[in-house]
A and B are shown apart, each in its own frame.
Chain A
C-alpha cells in the first residue's frame, strides 16, 4: 500500500467565507445591481398579483356572502326571545353556525366598509339598524328549504339571502382563487428561471476566480459558501427595495380605486392588513431564491465547466 501524504483538511472558516460573500457584493457591483434589478422586478410582480387577488376576494366576499343568511330580529324582541330564536336556528339541521350581530356591530361594519366615504354617516347612531343573526348554511342544495324554515320562526323580522347569486359567486371565487394560485406559481417559476440565468451569467463572469479556487484545492463547499452568502445578501436587499416600491405603488392605487370600491360598498384592503405577510414572504422568497439559486447554479457550473487547466 502506498504511503499517503497527510491530508491538509483544516476547518471550514465560516467567518472568512461570509466576509468573502460581502466582499463579492461590493466588488462585483454591476452584477449585483443586475441581480437585484431582476429579483426586485420578480418580487413586485408576485406581490402585486397577491394584493390584486386579495382585493378581488374581498369584493366577492362583500357582494355575496356565499353561504350566509342574515336573519334580522324584530325590534320588540327581548333578550330572552333573541336567545330562544338563536337556539331554534342552531337546531335547524342545515345550519352550521349562528353568530349574533348587534346593531352596533353592524353599524361599525358599515362604516369600515365605506372607508374614506364613512364621513357621510357622521352624527348618526346605530338605532336604525336591527339586531341580527349571521347564519351559515352547510348544504347549498338545501338552501331554499332552510330559508323557508327560518322565515317561519317567531321574532324574525326579515331574512336576507340570495341563494342563486351565492352559488354563482362561490364558483367565481373558486375560479379566481385557482387562477390566482396559477398566476403566482407561473410568476414564481419565471422569476426563478430569470434569477437562475442571471446567477449563471455571474458564474461565467467569475470563471477565472472559480478555476483558481479549484487549483489551490478549495472544496466545492468552500467555493459555494461565498456565492450563497452573496445570493442571500442580494435577496434581502431586493426584498427591502421591492417592499418599499410595492408599498408606494399600492398607496397610489388605493387612492385611484377607492371610489370604485366604495360604489361596491367596499374599500381597498389596507396595506397594513397584509404588511407582515408580504414582508415575511418577500424576505423568504428573496433569501431562498438568492441562496438556492446561487447554490444550484454554482453546483451545475462546477459540474459542467469547473476546470483548472484551460489551454492548448
Chain B
C-alpha cells in the first residue's frame, strides 16, 4: 500500500529533509506519524501526495510508482487518496454538500451517483443536517468533519490526515480521531495521521512512526517508549537556549527537566530526593571512582 524504500530528500543541495527512510504501511493500518517541527513530516506528506519526488529511493503508494508516474497521471493518483488538512481547506463560497461533492465531480461522476455518495459520506460524519450550510456557518469540528467526508466520498484506499486536530478544541480533537478510527475499522481504509498531539496518540493503540531530523527513530506500537523521547525533544525546543540540555548529561539533564516541568520552585528538591540520599545532583556518575579503587 505505502512503501518508502531508501528514500532521501535533499533541498538546495545541502539540506537533507529526509534521510534513508524505509517503511511499509499495509492496507487497513492506522499509523500515527509524529515528530517535532522540522522532523520531516511535511516532506513525508509531500512525497506521499507526489508534490515532491525523492532525491534517492522509491515511493510506491496504491500501486503507483511515484518516481516514474507521468505528470498528467498525478491527478488520477490523487483520486485514490483522501486528504484531510489542518485548516480544513473547504471552499468558502460552496455549501457543505457541494464541497463534498466536488471531490466526485472532478472525476466526472454522474449527479445521481454524486447525490448517493455524498449523502452516505455526510451521514458517516454526522453532518446530514448541515448540507446547505456554508463553511463559515460551521464550528471548527464540523468543518473538519466536512473535510473528512470529502476525503471519504471517493472511497479512497488511503486517507492522509495532516494535523487534523490542529485547529479544533481538545474534545472535538478526540472525536475527530475516533471518527478516523471508525472509518479505518468499518471501511478498512488505511489512515496515516500526522500529528503533534501526543495526548491523543496515547489514547489509541495504533502504530507510531516517529521522525527526528529526517530519520525514523522509532516505528512500532510501544507508545510508552516512543512518545516520551519525542516529548523531551519538544520540551528542549520550547526551552531552547537556557534549559536545553544535551542528552549525554544524564542526572543533570534529569534535574533540569524535572525542575522545568514544575511551576513551583519549591518542588525542585523532590526531583533530587528521588535520587540517592546525599547525592550531589551536579555530580556526573561517570566521574565516580570505581569501587575498591584507590585515588592517586
- Interface presence of A148 (CB below 8 A): no
**Cβ-defined contact, A8 with B76, below 8 A:** yes
**Cβ-defined contact, B42 with A312, below 8 A:** yes
Of residues 17 to 43 in A, which have CB atoms within 8 Å of B's CB atoms? 27
Q: Which of A114-122, A188-196, A211-219, A244-252 contacts B (4 or more CB under 8 A)?
A: A211-219
Give the distance in Å from the alpha carbon of A214 to the alpha carbon of B78 in the complex.
Answer: 8
Of residues 104 to 129 in B, which have CB atoms within 8 Å of A's CB atoms? 105-109
- Interface presence of B103 (CB below 8 A): yes
**Cβ-defined contact, B89 with A208, below 8 A:** yes
Contacts known (A215-B83, A216-B79); A312 close to B38, Cβ less than 8 A: yes
Give the distance in Å from the alpha carbon of A212 to the alpha carbon of B82 in the complex.
Answer: 12
**Cβ-defined contact, B80 with A309, below 8 A:** no
How many A-B residue pairs have C-beta atoms within 8 angstroms? Tell me: 94
**Cβ-defined contact, A10 with B109, below 8 A:** yes
A287 CB, min distance to chain B CBs, angstroms: 26
Q: Which of B60-68, B178-186, B238-246, B272-280 contacts A (4 or more CB under 8 A)?
A: B60-68
- Interface presence of A53 (CB below 8 A): no
**Cβ-defined contact, B107 with A9, below 8 A:** yes
Taken residue by residue from 41 to 58, chain B's Cβ proximity to chain A (1 for < 8 Å, 0 otherwise) reads as 110011001010000000
| Closest chain B residue, CB of each to CB of A215 | B83
**Cβ-defined contact, A219 with B42, below 8 A:** no
Taken residue by residue from 175 to 216, chain A's Cβ proximity to chain B (1 for < 8 Å, 0 otherwise) reads as 000000000000000000000000000000000110111111
Give the distance in Å from the alpha carbon of A4 to the alpha carbon of B244 in the complex.
Answer: 48
Which residues of B sit under 8 angstroms from A311, Cβ to Cβ?
42, 86, 162-163
Contacts known (A2-B63, A308-B51); A8 close to B79, Cβ less than 8 A: yes
B158 CB, min distance to chain A CBs, angstroms: 10
**Interface range on chain A (Cβ under 8 Å from partner):** 20 to 34
Give the distance in Å from the alpha carbon of A215 to the alpha carbon of B103 in the complex.
Answer: 9
- Interface presence of A222 (CB below 8 A): yes
Taken residue by residue from 217 to 236, chain A's Cβ proximity to chain B (1 for < 8 Å, 0 otherwise) reads as 11110100000000000000
Q: Which of B72, B76, B92 has the most CB of A within 10 A?
A: B76
- Interface presence of A13 (CB below 8 A): yes
Give the distance in Å from the alpha carbon of A9 to the alpha carbon of B80 in the complex.
Answer: 11
30 sampled A-B residue pairs with Cβ under 8 A: A2-B63, A2-B65, A4-B64, A5-B80, A7-B79, A8-B154, A9-B76, A10-B107, A10-B109, A13-B105, A27-B93, A209-B91, A213-B102, A213-B106, A214-B75, A214-B78, A215-B49, A215-B83, A216-B79, A216-B83, A217-B76, A217-B107, A219-B72, A220-B75, A308-B49, A308-B78, A308-B83, A311-B42, A312-B38, A312-B42
Interface residues in chain B, defined as those with a beta carbon under 8 Å from any beta carbon in chain A: 37-38, 41-42, 45-46, 49, 51, 60, 62-65, 72-73, 75-81, 83, 85-86, 89-93, 102-103, 105-109, 150, 154, 157, 162-163
Interface residues in chain A, defined as those with a beta carbon under 8 Å from any beta carbon in chain B: 2-5, 7-13, 16, 27, 208-209, 211-220, 222, 307-309, 311-312
